[in-house]
């Protein structure tokens, strides 16, 4: 019998990655106040947010719970989801031509199999320089309010913004470290069926 798998996130990018595994799952966003969770260490903050998301969903639902949260840090400044298009433009101008680090908190709960796992995946990367005109066009053409830092390399044009990467590819692009998730799913007895989407 198929185990119930829940993605505790409304992220289209995370959903897209899970779909590529050919497994059945539900999307139940936690809707917690992410900004209420703060920590002096970036890695702990990301991990704590992911765990809070997972535990909030686990209170109401049984099954395997997968949760994640991503934010960027550029020159000591935390960049989360912009509140409006102007802030998205400001964030992209700030990141243009600079290196940054993305922090993806990840939590996996399968209490039936005594699996309670969380960590933060840290990825060093950089953005090429962008003109104000290009930034304006990008912000007006993409769903930037749903992405930390106002951009996403999960899509073709977003990929062209990245100059280099050191660390988890899918944590940077989709906010979900698949190299961590897949072994946990296998440990839970979930059959992976790769599909082309």
CB-count burial class (<10 Å; 0-12, 13-18, 19+) for 77 = exposed
- Give the model confidence (pLDDT) of 116-139 as tens digits: 999 999 999 999 999 999 999 999
| Structure tokens belonging to residue 150 | 């106002």
- The reply to whether 161 falls in a domain is yes
- Give the model confidence (pLDDT) of 49-108 as tens digits: 999 999 999 999 999 999 999 999 999 999 999 999 999 999 999 999 999 999 999 999
Beta bridge partners of 80: none
pLDDT level of residue 40 (50, 70, 90 thresholds): confident
CB-count burial class (<10 Å; 0-12, 13-18, 19+) for 150 = buried
- The reply to whether 83 falls in a domain is yes
pLDDT level of residue 1 (50, 70, 90 thresholds): low
Are the CB atoms for 70 and 90 separated by under 8 Å? Answer: no
Look-up: residue for tokens 């007895």? 189
CA terminus-to-terminus distance, the chain: 25
- The reply to whether 193 falls in a domain is no
How many separate domains does the chain show? Answer: 1
Are the CB atoms for 85 and 144 separated by under 8 Å? Answer: yes
pLDDT computed for residue 98 by the predictor? 98
Predicted TM-score of the model (pTM): 0.93
Domain hosting residue 120, numbered range? 5-187
pLDDT computed for residue 12 by the predictor? 93
* CATH number for position 97: 3.90.950.10
CA atoms within 13 A on the CB side of 124: 3
Q: Is the pLDDT of residue 10 over 80?
A: yes
Are the CB atoms for 105 and 152 separated by under 8 Å? Answer: no
| Structure tokens belonging to residue 33 | 């106040």
Residue spans of beta strands (DSSP E) within 45-98: 64-74, 77-79
For residues 181 and 177, what is the distance between their CA atoms, to the nearest angstrom? 6
- Give the model confidence (pLDDT) of 159-193 as tens digits: 999 999 999 999 999 999 999 999 999 999 999 99
| Structure tokens belonging to residue 71 | 């934010």
- The reply to whether 197 falls in a domain is no
Per-residue pLDDT, averaged over 28-45, amounts to 84
- The reply to whether 195 falls in a domain is no
Residues serving a catalytic function are 69
- The reply to whether 194 falls in a domain is no
């Amino acid at each position: 019998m198929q185990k119930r798998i829940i993605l505790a996130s409304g992220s289209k990018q995370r959903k897209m990655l899970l779909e590529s595994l050919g497994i059945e799952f539900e999307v139940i966003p936690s809707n917690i106040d992410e900004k209420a969770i703060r920590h002096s260490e970036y890695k702990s903050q990301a991990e704590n947010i992911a765990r809070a998301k997972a535990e909030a969903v686990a209170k109401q639902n049984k099954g395997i719970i997968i949760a994640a949260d991503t934010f960027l840090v550029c020159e000591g400044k935390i960049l989360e989801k912009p509140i409006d298009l102007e802030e998205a433009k400001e964030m992209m101008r700030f990141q243009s031509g600079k290196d940054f680090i993305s922090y993806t908190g990840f939590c996996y709960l399968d209490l039936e199999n005594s699996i309670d796992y969380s960590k933060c995946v840290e990825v060093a990367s950089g953005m090429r320089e962008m003109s104000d005109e290009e930034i304006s066009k990008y912000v007006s053409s993409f769903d930037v309010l749903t992405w930390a830092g106002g951009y996403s390399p999960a899509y073709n044009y977003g990929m062209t913004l990245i100059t280099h990467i050191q660390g988890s590819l899918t944590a940077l692009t989709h906010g979900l470290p698949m190299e961590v998730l897949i072994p946990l799913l296998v440990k839970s007895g979930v059959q992976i069926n790769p599909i082309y989407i």
